[in-house]
Amino acid sequence: MGKLNDMTELSASAVAQRPIRVLLADDDDQARRALRAQLAVAADIDVVGEANDGALALQLARWLRPDVALLDDDMPVMGGPELARVLAKELPEVRVVVLTTGAKTADARER
């Protein structure tokens, strides 16, 4: 039993030390670059991919298996809320955050 506990602690320690892998998806290049720059200062975050529409974001999520997907709520092809539903079914281990601007907040609540 001691070896199993040692392995569990080792595994948990390895996960705690690796950076959080993030996928960014936003059709606004400037917003995506700004978000990437903000995340770049955190040593424990690694932006592993970027997409400018929901379809590309889904392809990248399937391939890269990020820990977190930061999604714009209003993107071409597939918006953040719809993509979040697909990711929840296909990749439930990926945590999703749907981002919106203040002007879009009321519309996002209606979805």
Question: Rounded mean pLDDT of the chain?
Answer: 84
Question: What percentage of the chain reaches a pLDDT higher than 70?
Answer: 77
Kindly give the residue spans of alpha helices, DSSP state H, lying in 18-79: 29-40, 54-64
Q: 80 in a domain, yes or no?
A: yes
Residue 1's DSSP bridge partners are none
> Which token pair is 46?
């690694």
Burial of 80 (C-beta count, 10 Å sphere; 0-12/13-18/19+) = buried
Q: What pTM value is reported for the model?
A: 0.77
Q: 46 in a domain, yes or no?
A: yes
In the DSSP assignment, the letter for residue 19 is P
Domain that holds residue 78: 19-110
Q: 8 in a domain, yes or no?
A: no
Give Cα 1 to chain centroid, integer Å. 36
> Which token pair is 18?
């690796």
pLDDT in tens, 2-50: 554 444 444 455 556 889 999 999 999 999 999 999 999 999 999 999 9
Count of other CB atoms within 10 angstroms of residue 50: 19
Q: 10 in a domain, yes or no?
A: no
Which pLDDT score, from 0 to 100, does residue 100 have?
A: 85
Domain count within the chain: 1
pLDDT in tens, 54-108: 999 999 999 999 999 999 999 989 989 999 999 999 999 999 999 987 655 444 4
Place of tokens 């990749």: 91
